[in-house]
Structure 1
Amino acid sequence: MAAAQVSPPPPPPPPPPLYLGFDFSTQQLKVLVIDGNLNVLHQDNVQFDSELSDFRTQGGVHIHSDRLTVTSPVLMWVKALDLLLDKMKRAGFDFSRVRALSGSGQQHGSVYWKRGASETLNQLSPDQDLFQQLQVCVFSVSDSPVWMDSSSSQQCLDLQAAVGGALRLAEITGSRAYERFTGNQICKLRQTRPDAYQDTERISLVSSFAASLFLGDYAAIDYSDGSGMNLLDIRTRSWSEVCLKATAPHLDQLLGAPLPSTSVLGPVSSYFVHRYGFSETCRVVAFTGDNPASLAGMRLQQGDIAVSLGTSDTVFLWIQQPRPALEGHVFCNPVDWQAYMALLCFKNGSLTRERIRNECAGGSWEVFSAALRNTPLGNNGNIGFYFDTMEITPPAVGVYRFDGDDNEVSSLSSQVEVRALVEGQFLSRRLHAESLGYSIIPGTRVLATGGASCNTEILQVLSDVFNAPVYTIDLSNSACLGAAYRALHGLVAESGVSFFDVLKTAPEPQLVATPHPTAPQVQTHTHTGISEISQRVKDGNRERKEKSTD
């Protein structure tokens, strides 16, 4: 009788795929790895100042003698990528499991590829690192202008004049002209360094530059990051002819056609396959700006608002029908091509709250919080606007206090002043958000992050002012996390699967505050007069400036 044959054991299942998110930020390059269940499996970073000290940056940048020009070395970003991937390789990371990657870059930075650079990108040798191969004759400008640069004021004025004014430019591109925006930086370069401009074959944003390294070819600028250039028509999602014409000749050829933020650009370059062991099937999903990537990392949905309470307060909005204005920015939404996102930045955030804490609460957050608990919602009509430094939104400086009859007063009692500050800050955030097209709808959530998000009483005021529940969320790596989420979503986006369907298993934010039942009535009354008071603040600031120049 023949012995029964024993079947060999089935081969073990292949390890689950991974998704990489990179963030080329101002001070460091970060990477975050997730699996298909959205678990974060690995994180690493390269600090520019300390780990790449040969580039002699401070805070990741070079501040030039005029104090207006601020740049970063392009090759520093290249060398950082070499260093980061080598770190991962030494740690035993299995690049063959990576199914898709995406990334983000600091918004408004621009990279100028020299004529012939595409051939170098296409023929990278896996025997040498990127820095060795790209340090010679690849970039026509060695130091890239970045978001901190404010040296293109004249170009901003010229662009606005060419299109019919600041508001008209905002209606087209989502923002009035800003010195840091890429179109104005390109115009300045063309005027001040014509030889470098003539020798440029392609212009990238930091995000599309980083994607180009992985792609081994020029990567398209995505709609969302392209919205921060003063060049993209945010409604047609194509370059604005009038803006291009006002900026530089044949600029559309240097920029290439923009693409949806969910686009799969192609397979990873063979360079990464042979040098690091990436799979040939690994896909590169379009990179975007750090702010749009953060919106993806926060998983903001229609009607949501995110408020980052830090040194500066930043407000992120998901909006359907934008109303671009002279203050704030409207971008194309990075995860839903039919929607938009808006961004507002307020300089006078936590430092102003700390000053009032010191002056009115003896330096104690407990006393500060008690003042919020012991004063009524609406503060009996007392309100304050505190601009210790020149504010961005609105452009004003100084302290403005108003009593319950809307009369400007020189002082308020300590407890009343604490609430006047906090309610005034959040009412201003809401007012400017609504001016850009934001509206509170059923299901609206406020996602709070940043240092002040640990203060329950401050978050209660935030909830009451917006008449919406407040949740807290850890956004320490939101851009990186958003990039990894977008890599995962990019593979299925063309088949109609939504971003939120992909992220169903992501951890939920924590509910920390709900609006008081009387909040709608109190805030409706307060909100009625806040626009008028805000206009008086602007007028008062203008009068002060005029007097100071007399």
Structure 2
Amino acid sequence: MIEETRKKTFLGFDFSTQRLKAVVIDEDYAVQQEADVEFDVDLPEFRTAGGVVRGEGRGEVTAPTLLWVKALDMVMDRLVVAGVDFSTIEALSGAAQQHGSVWWLKGSEAKLASLSGDQFLHTQLATCFAADSPVWMDSSTTADCKALEEAVGGPEELARVTGSRAYERFTGSQIRKMFRTRPRVYQNTERISLVSSFACSLFVGKIAPIDLSDGSGMNLLDIHTKKWHEQALQACGDETLASKLGDPVPTATVVSAICPYYVQRYGFRSDCKVVAFTGDNCSALAALRLRSGWVGLSLGTSDTLLLGLHSAAAPPAGHILVGPTSAPYMALLCFSNGSLTRQNHRDRLVGPSWEAFNDLLQATVRGNMGYMGIYYDTAEIVPRAAAGRWLQDAGGRPADKLAPQFEARALLEGQAVARRAHAEDMGFVLDPSSRVVATGGASVNTALLQIFADVFNTPVYVQDQHANAALLGAAIRAAEVWSSETGTKLTGSEPTMSPVASPYPDAERIYKPMLDRYRKIIENIPRLG
């Protein structure tokens, strides 16, 4: 078969909290095969619940690192059963849960370099890990967060330099806790990986570098210089920490060709490229292929905004990461009161029917006659605020209750206004080419999407592809980096999206004043520490 006509496919992995997923796409970016392993069900010997183990200490949450290795053995076998022809795979990449850390024992890199294709990975790497992996759910590092912020000049300075204030789940404070409470583990560690770079290491036969996008979710990386921040390193470890982390690389880096283990065991081509793995949110942004001025909107249990940014302002809330694609930076804003809060108030107002709830919306006008509401059923992340409910009438006066139709619209408009206000506070600027790209379970609700179109004064689209954006993004990044490296145009490189809502001509006149009102309301909401 001549080279130009040989079938070309691309492989993506997602090492998420509860399962490992894999997908193969072709040149059109159409899904060919998939496989997954659910940790609790398929690997009961590790005794996880929801993919993690909760420790005896307050807030401690870890995962057995070897669990992820054994899951990879299993998912590779399931890809074989699914009929994947590994000799057609030109490149692979992956995504992983963010912020988790992997602690490689001294001598581990030598074991990675000498893997035998006759044995499973997990039997060969069983003695490579100095400790279980702290993951993003861990909240046991409050004291370490405060110490890190103090060491670099306060939370605002840490946010300016690293893109975020100190958060318990972030890797820097987790490393500081390990250094402080388990010094022997720290000293016996050859390298510290993120879950993403750890997973990449399993494919390249050496400890893979941390990519800049996922690396900027550690509170250790200077997002302006793209290098480790010396004061943050000193606050979290000793003089060996920089060498334990290694030098970070751009997310679009080809780390190396796949290691011989996979050529021998599964029949991969020896020149199959392994593109740096990254964090799941970074990978989701890559899957949405957001351009400048576009907004990725994930409408799930919580709502997440993903934005491509040209510059990195110090975020008052949320996070700024180094961009995984062409935009220099990405903003990540997570709102804990998303679909679950919408559902709670739907049930309260009309019962378990979105159709009945949407009928309430139709009984009101855009702008809601000036009524506004903020609904936090649980503590909110952006802004960091306690649970509560705040209602106002058209004159800005507090209101005890509203008629059901006004409450329904106040809930949804308040959420959409909050998303736009905080995006603008991060430096996001709407322009005529802007669009909102919606994903997640609630993206099927066209009434909700119409409100977002009006509030953002820009069309809303939905993607016509795979529901798991992080997983699809991993395969797409592999394809696009391979395409760039080889100069080969791929037919799937243009995203396929469908418009589902467009703003009314008077949308900006109605909603722009509500942004200012929202900002004034939240000034008086009780904040969390």
Normalised-by-shorter TM-score class: over 0.9
- Listed as ranges, the gaps of 5+ residues in structure 2 are none
2:413 and 2:522 map into 1 onto residues whose CA distance is 13
Partner of 1:6: none
1:355-374 equivalences in 2 (<5 Å):
355-374=344-363
Partner of 2:324: 334
1:103 equivalent to 2:87? Answer no
1:269 equivalent to 2:259? Answer yes
Matched residue pairs, number?
526
1:164 equivalent to 2:153? Answer yes
Would the aligned equivalents of 1:108 and 1:228 in 2 still touch at CA under 8 Å?
A: yes
Would the aligned equivalents of 1:372 and 1:458 in 2 still touch at CA under 8 Å?
A: no
1:294 equivalent to 2:278? Answer no
Partner of 2:121: 130
Q: Deviations over 1:98-155 (max 9, x none)?
A: 111111111001001000111111111111110111112x1111x1000101111111
- Which of 214, 227, 235 pairs up with 1:225? 214
Shift of 1:496: 8.7
Partner of 1:384: 373
Would the aligned equivalents of 1:346 and 1:391 in 2 still touch at CA under 8 Å?
A: yes
Partner of 2:179: 190
Partner of 1:68: 59
Would the aligned equivalents of 2:480 and 2:493 in 1 still touch at CA under 8 Å?
A: no
Partner of 1:279: 269
1:481 equivalent to 2:485? Answer no
Between the two proteins, what is the percent identity of the paired residues? 49
Would the aligned equivalents of 1:32 and 1:480 in 2 still touch at CA under 8 Å?
A: yes
Task: Please give the secondary structure, in 2, of the residue aligned with 1:408.
Answer: coil
Report the TM-score when normalising by structure 1: 0.92
Task: Please give the secondary structure, in 1, of the residue aligned with 2:434.
Answer: coil
Partner of 1:453: 443
Tell which structure's C-alpha radius of gyration is larger.
1
What amino acid is aligned across from residue 523 of structure 1 in structure 2? Y
1:492 and 1:12 map into 2 onto residues whose CA distance is 15
Would the aligned equivalents of 2:316 and 2:425 in 1 still touch at CA under 8 Å?
A: no
Would the aligned equivalents of 2:27 and 2:490 in 1 still touch at CA under 8 Å?
A: no
Shift of 1:186: 0.5
Q: Deviations over 1:194-230 (max 9, x none)?
A: 0000000000000000111100001010010001000
Segment of structure 1 superposing worse, 274-283 or 467-476: 467-476
Partner of 1:4: none
- Which of 319, 328, 343 pairs up with 2:309? 319
Distance verdict in 2 for CA 1:286–1:11, change over 3 Å: closer
What amino acid is aligned across from residue 113 of structure 2 in structure 1? N
- Which of 23, 27, 36 pairs up with 2:18? 27
2:94 and 2:215 map into 1 onto residues whose CA distance is 15
1:535 equivalent to 2:523? Answer yes
1:334 and 1:355 map into 2 onto residues whose CA distance is 35
What amino acid is aligned across from residue 287 of structure 1 in structure 2? F
2:160 and 2:12 map into 1 onto residues whose CA distance is 32
Shift of 1:525: 2.1
Would the aligned equivalents of 2:316 and 2:426 in 1 still touch at CA under 8 Å?
A: no
Task: Please give the secondary structure, in 2, of the residue aligned with 1:330.
Answer: strand
1:93 and 1:371 map into 2 onto residues whose CA distance is 50
Partner of 1:523: 511
- Which of 391, 396, 405 pairs up with 1:406? 396
Task: Please give the secondary structure, in 1, of the residue aligned with 2:332.
Answer: strand
2:454 and 2:4 map into 1 onto residues whose CA distance is 52
2:45 and 2:404 map into 1 onto residues whose CA distance is 51
- Listed as ranges, the gaps of 5+ residues in structure 1 are 1-9
Shift of 1:314: 1.1
1:13 and 1:405 map into 2 onto residues whose CA distance is 68
Would the aligned equivalents of 2:33 and 2:82 in 1 still touch at CA under 8 Å?
A: no
Q: Deviations over 1:301-336 (max 9, x none)?
A: 111111111111111111112223231011111112
Q: CA RMSD in A?
A: 1.8
Partner of 1:415: 405
1:93 and 1:387 map into 2 onto residues whose CA distance is 46
What amino acid is aligned across from residue 81 of structure 2 in structure 1? R
Q: Deviations over 1:50-108 (max 9, x none)?
A: 11111111111011233501111100000011111112223442211111111111100
Task: Please give the secondary structure, in 1, of the residue aligned with 2:217.
Answer: helix
Would the aligned equivalents of 1:262 and 1:493 in 2 still touch at CA under 8 Å?
A: no
1:423-442 equivalences in 2 (<5 Å):
423-442=413-432
- Which of 244, 258, 273 pairs up with 1:254? 244
Partner of 1:119: 110
2:391 and 2:215 map into 1 onto residues whose CA distance is 40
2:466 and 2:8 map into 1 onto residues whose CA distance is 24
- Which of 30, 33, 38 pairs up with 1:42? 33
Partner of 2:338: 349
Segment of structure 1 superposing worse, 252-261 or 518-527: 518-527
1:319 and 1:13 map into 2 onto residues whose CA distance is 37
Shift of 1:241: 1.1
Partner of 2:496: 508
Would the aligned equivalents of 2:28 and 2:490 in 1 still touch at CA under 8 Å?
A: no
Shift of 1:12: 10
Task: Please give the secondary structure, in 2, of the residue aligned with 1:385.
Answer: strand
- Which of 304, 321, 325 pairs up with 2:294? 304
Would the aligned equivalents of 2:105 and 2:189 in 1 still touch at CA under 8 Å?
A: yes
2:191 and 2:392 map into 1 onto residues whose CA distance is 53
Would the aligned equivalents of 2:27 and 2:492 in 1 still touch at CA under 8 Å?
A: no
